[in-house]
Amino acid sequence: MSDLWMILIVMGFFLLMWGFVSLCNALMEN
Amino acid sequence: MTFMSWLQFPLYIVVLLILVKPLGLYMARVYQGERTFLSPVIKPIEKLVFKMAGVNPDDEMSWKTYALTVLAFNLVGFFFLYLLLRMQHVLPLNPQALGAVSPELSFNTAVSFVTNTNWQSYGGETTMSNLSQMLGLGVQNFLSAATGMAVLIALIRGLARHTTNKLGSFWVDLTRSTLYILLPLSIILAMFLVGQGVVQTFHANIVSQTVDHTSGVVLQTIPLGPVASQVAIKQLGTNGGGFFNVNSAHPFENPTPFSNFLEMLSILLIPAALTYTFGKMVGDTRQGWALLAAMTIILVLMAGIAIKAESQGNPAFVSMGIDQSAGNMEGKEVRFGVVNSALWATVTTAASNGSVNSMHDSFTPLGGLVPMWMMMLGEVIFGGVGSGLYGMLAFVVIAVFVAGLMVGRTPEYLGKKIEIHEMKMAAIIVLIPVVTVLFGTAIALISSSGKASIFNNGPQGFSEVLYAFSSVGNNNGSAFAGLGANTSFYNIALGIAMLIARFALIVPVLAMAGSLSQKKIVPASGGTLPSHTPLFIGWLIGVIIIVGALSYVPALALGPIVQHLMLGTGRLF
């Protein structure tokens, strides 16, 4: 697999983590 | 086994415990911004770093800002390391003229070192240039360790503080972890290791004539490099990634029994001392001692089982006429023997270090079950620097909550009520590694790509896959090593598992810290469950063991347990 795929996997994961931060914040406020 | 070889086990535990308080106290002073004996030298450097980076040390962060900063910092670290590995063939300090690392292996390695796992699908001396080892892997060894320590300190502040949403500054915690703790200890350890014969040079590999030409091999390449400096932070930062392929079994990484003792000691040194740091920072050192006691009890029990299993040797070898009086010496270095090998295997998997001084694939089934189980417990028995204790604190929250339900009291820990949000976060922290390990193993075993890399049949092959995912799913990094892991499937699957195990845990840990820091402190009453007593220590151990057992016994039954039972019939795999 190429460099682009590797970078996309990592970027996708960190975007997911950004969303996870928002989810945990929402859970805290409920 | 001789008395002297058995003596090494209690000697190790005693020396480790003696060092806990002095180092723990020093680290508490560092994180609380107090003056230490190194301040005259390091404070000016710290101020310069903050000035150059534009960091105001008094600017503190909420849990959300802290978490996003950790994620952003590690993302940049990944890209830097990935680029370095892909470009190493055109960069300096490559005397072996090694080519660029492939995209999948670069991805796996960069993720591995950024997440403090240091899983290595490669042999260092034939894959990584000196520049990659030092500037890439070595630097991430420091930064990933410092990241774990910073997150732990944020959680400790969450427990210690009240009615605030500030958890400190990630930049300050990262810098202080690196400058005051990791760097000085690494320099000292590296000097001791050089004194013992660990190589430290930029000299190119040496090609020499072999003494015995009967095998047809006339010339031998002896790999060299800046090893001691990397080994020091490899151990102290619970990283585990060796310079050489066989890690600390290599005589240039670990030449003598004394270097072995020092390297083994440095694996648990900071994680053990952090328990005292925790107690000091929350204002009750008994809390830290309680956690240290729980960790030590489990470690001693499991190390005892591993040492006993390896000491008894392999009964199948006896029937082949192979002398087992020294125990199961397959895959072990003669200069270390069975006790030091089994003890190291237990310690390295307790600590999420992952370095090895023997080949775990060659352990007896029960001997191999111990390191696997230690990882499966969540790397909370001491665990990684920072990550071990924050994982343990998640178990403490669960233990306190369940105990509170049983006695009909509101669960509280260190004066903070444990409520639904903390429980949700603690459950996520405990269960994410379990899901990662079991799902990862299952996917590997049903896919043709996953099965193609298994070279041992039966339960041994199963154990190799289970061990691999247990290792990356808990950021350990050690391997059974019979698995052909440098394939597209495993490089990507294991890389994703490492990312999940690291960052999908850091987020809920910080969320829990943020929630705890905003609570008021409830004074202790007659109904408060004390969390420093032998009863609580026993209860905590029980919770850890039960969660681990419920999660993993079915998988272990398919691997090392059935292999142990079949060993009795003389069946080998």
* Tokens encoding B536: 């609580």
Chain segment B78-97, per-residue pLDDT in tens: 999 999 999 999 999 888 88
pLDDT score for B512: 97
Q: Are strands B416-417 and B206-209 parallel, antiparallel or unpaired?
A: unpaired
Q: What is the model's pLDDT at position B323?
A: 84
Which amino acid is it at B540? L
Interval B99-110 mean pLDDT: 95
> Does the beta-carbon distance from B71 to A10 stay under 8 Å?
no
Tell me what pLDDT residue B541 has.
97
- State pLDDT tens for residues B207-247: 999 888 888 888 888 989 999 999 999 999 999 998 998 99
User: What single-letter DSSP state applies at residue B474?
Assistant: T
Q: How far is A3 from chain B (nearest CA, A)?
A: 5
- Whether residue B1 is predicted with pLDDT greater than 70 in this model: the reply is no
- Residue in chain B lying closest to A11 (CA): B75
Per residue, the 3-state secondary structure of A1-30, as one string, reads CCHHHHHHHHHHHHHHHHHHHHHHHHHHHC
How confident is residue B2, by pLDDT bands cut at 50, 70 and 90? Answer: confident
What pLDDT was estimated at residue A17? 96
- Percent of all residues in chain B with a pLDDT value above 70, rounded to a whole number: 100
Chain A residue with the nearest C-alpha to that of B515: A28
| Contacting residues for B414 by C-beta, under 8 A, at least 6 apart | B159, B160, B282, B284, B287, B531
Question: What's the mean pLDDT in B261-277?
Answer: 97
Query: Taking all residues of chain B, what is their mean pLDDT, rounded to a whole number?
Result: 93
pLDDT at B481 over 80: no
**Sign of dihedral through CA atoms B404, B409, B410, B415?**
negative
What mean pLDDT comes out for the span A6-19? 95
The answer to whether A5 contacts chain B (CB < 8 Å) is yes
Taking CB atoms and an 8 Å cut-off, how many pairs form between chains A and B?
60
In angstroms, rounded to a whole number, what is the distance separating the alpha carbons of residues B367 and B351?
17
Which candidate in A4, A6, A15 is best for mutational testing of the B interface (most B CBs within 10 A)?
A6
Question: Torsion over CA of B115, B116, B119 and B121, rounded to 10 degrees?
Answer: 60
Query: Where are the alpha helices (H) located in B447-483, listed in sequence order?
Result: 448-452, 458-472
Contact of B107 with A10, CB cutoff 8 Å: yes
Q: Is the pLDDT reported for residue B296 higher than 80?
A: yes
Do the beta carbons of residue B430 and residue B501 sit within 8 Å? Answer: no
- Quote the Cα angle for B407-B426-B300, to 5°: 80
The whole-angstrom distance between A4's CA and the closest CA on chain B is 9
| Interchain pair B495, A9: CB under 8 A | yes
Closest CB from B71, B508, B515 relative to A14 = B71
Residues of A in contact with B424 (CB under 8 A): 27
Distance, in angstroms, between A2 CA and closest chain B CA? 6
Checking if the pLDDT of B308 tops 70, the result is yes
pLDDT at B4: 81
- Answer yes or no: do B111 and A10 touch at CB < 8 A: yes
Distances B93 to B118, B141, B285 between C-alpha atoms, Å: 22, 19, 47
The token pair that represents B292 in the structure block: 């240290």
pLDDT single digits (tens) B139-172: 999 999 999 999 999 999 999 999 999 999 999 9
> Mean pLDDT over residues B495-512, rounded?
97
HEC-encoded secondary structure of B150-189: HHHHHHHHHHHCCCCCCCCCHHHHHHHHHHHHHHHHHHHH
- pLDDT interval class at B569 (50, 70, 90): confident
* B402-433 exposure pattern, b = at least 16 Cβ within 10 A, e = fewer: ebbeeeeeebbbbbbebeebbbbbbebbbebb
Written as six digits, the tokens of B262 are 């020092």
**Mutant choice from B61, B66, B76, B78 vs A, greatest count of A C-beta within 10 A:** B78
pLDDT tops 70 at residue B301: yes
The answer to whether B75 contacts A14, with C-beta atoms less than 8 Å apart, is: yes
> Token digits for B240?
């585990």
Cβ <8 Å between A17 and B495 = no
- Residue B320, pLDDT score: 81
Share of residues in chain B with pLDDT > 90 (%): 80
The three-class DSSP label of residue B203 is: coil
State whether residue B30 sits within 8 Å of chain A by CB: no
Query: Higher pLDDT residue, B64 or B4?
Result: B64
The tokens for B303 are 């190390």
Window from B318-327, B353-362, B467-476, B544-553 with minimum mean pLDDT: B318-327
Select the residue of B71, B488, B496 nearest A17 (Cβ to Cβ): B71
pLDDT of B187 > 80? The answer is yes
Asked if A15 is an interface residue toward chain B (Cβ–Cβ < 8 A), one would say: no
Q: Has residue B455 got a pLDDT over 90? A: no
Q: Between B459 and B72, name the one with better pLDDT.
A: B72
